[in-house]
Structure 1
Amino acid sequence: MQNLLKALKRCAVAGAAVLAVVSLQPVSAAHAAPAPVVGGTRAAQGEFPFMVRLSMGCGGALYTQQIVLTAAHCVGSTGPDTSITATAGVVDLQSTSGRVQVRSTYVYRAPGYNGNGRDWALIKLAQPINLPTLNIATTSQYNTGTFTVAGWGAATENGGQQRYMLKANVPFVSDATCRGYSGYSGLVANEEICAGYAAGGVDTCQGDSGGPMFRRDASNAWVQVGIVSWGIGCARPNAPGVYTEVSTFASAIASAASSL
């Protein structure tokens, strides 16, 4: 039961055999996913060109120009899938200027995913999107400090999805501290990373699932360190967001992407 609740936390709707938590319907307040950014501000056009909005109500980032990295709980099983539309190139989802929309052709979900860690997936697109991609962390050196999150999820717990992309910064929370919070004892070490403020107020939320958590690397370029996965409610005190620790799965992600 705990695994199922974790799978439902950052998405907006339950779908794809309960695995795709999307942003069409809110989940219960007790198990809501973090909003795209509760306590966030509007992102500027072109600020995060690698951001992708997925039609099932999740987020993602361009791993390559033809592959989107997202959360396993946002998709169904591995195999051909033409049901997903990826939208990119805009911060305003209603804008048609610069907006690119491409259908999916195939989904790859992390092997062994059962709602407890390993929350990553790849979506292959029918054609490349000519926009910058987001490099992923291949070591743990960037798994600390202050991170940026962005998305179109709810701006309040159980709120509606957003028209405009929001962004916010959240600080790293150690595994020990995170596990000490109510509801977080099941945190999977080395597969999940926590981020947020003890006082709450800033977080990801329903509809942000699958979106990237990123920071600047040594060359001042953006590097992805996390994938929005789960959390208790949105922006509550002592309830940080939990993100898939990308560096742990970097080799597996690269191998899977090369096979698509």
Structure 2
Amino acid sequence: MQSDIEVGYGSIDIYSMTVVRARGFIIHENYDTITQANDIGLIELPTDLNYESNSSIRPICLGQESDIIDGVKAVASGWGTTSYMGTPVTRLREVALDVIPVTQCARLTLLPDDPSKVLCALTNYKDTCQGDSGGPLIVKICPDRWAQIGIVSYGEGCAQPDKPGVYTRLPAYRNWIDLNSGSSTTC
């Protein structure tokens, strides 16, 4: 599918990024705009990123199910607002969040019909917010290596007590990613 999506990389300042127009994108065929089920997509860049010539960019490992541990600190990042209905930031922000059991999350917010395909994070008064959707949720898997375990999907407001953020559970979509990207590299 032809794309009008622009992708920025190489800087944490939104005005200093290198911006390219995506060659195309794939949205999950069962994405549901009402429940946010299967909230995942892939973007095809016009050329491969050259990690050797740009020290500001690095690949990230795709998380495995064993990387998702209830109670672990995960880090979300984005250029979204810092308060509900606020103004987006121009410098990349990050927040450390506690991953909680999906059973606990289901008692606190609505989840898609198949909760095994989401994960939740809840740290009172900390959260992702509008404009962060599609961004990564990552965990440290060893001293020099991080893995992406989730994709920012939705929540109720921002940073409200007992209102978890809901994330697409990346390992649940590994087959779909491999099939649609032509790659099966974990790390």
Q: Is this a same-fold pair by TM over 0.5? A: yes
Over 4 Å off, 4+ runs: none
Count of residues paired in the alignment: 173
Alignment pair present for 1:156 and 2:74? no
Match runs of 1:135-154 below 5 Å: 135-137=61-63, 139-144=64-69, 145-154=72-81
Select the structure with the greater relative contact order (CA < 8 A; seq sep ≥ 6): 1
Matching residue of 1:31:
none
Alignment pair present for 1:196 and 2:122? yes
SS in 1 for 2:22: strand
Shift of 1:168: 1.0
Choose the corresponding residue for 2:149, options 225, 231, 234.
225
Distance of 1:187 and 1:237 partners within structure 2: 24
Shift of 1:184: 2.3
Matching residue of 2:103:
176
Matching residue of 2:54:
none
Question: Could you say what the CA RMSD is over the residues aligned between the two structures, in angstroms?
Answer: 1.6
Choose the corresponding residue for 2:39, options 116, 119, 124.
119
Matched residue type, 2:110: Y
Alignment pair present for 1:84 and 2:2? no
Shift of 1:133: 1.3
Choose the corresponding residue for 2:173, options 208, 226, 249.
249
List gaps (5 residues or longer) in structure 1.
1-78
Distance of 1:124 and 1:186 partners within structure 2: 27
List gaps (5 residues or longer) in structure 2.
51-56
Matching residue of 2:20:
102
Distance of 1:120 and 1:234 partners within structure 2: 21
Shift of 1:164: 0.6
TM (normalized to structure 2)? 0.87
Alignment pair present for 1:236 and 2:163? no
Q: Give the share of equivalent positions with the same residue, in percent.
A: 27
Matched residue type, 1:141: S
Match runs of 1:25-44 below 5 Å: none
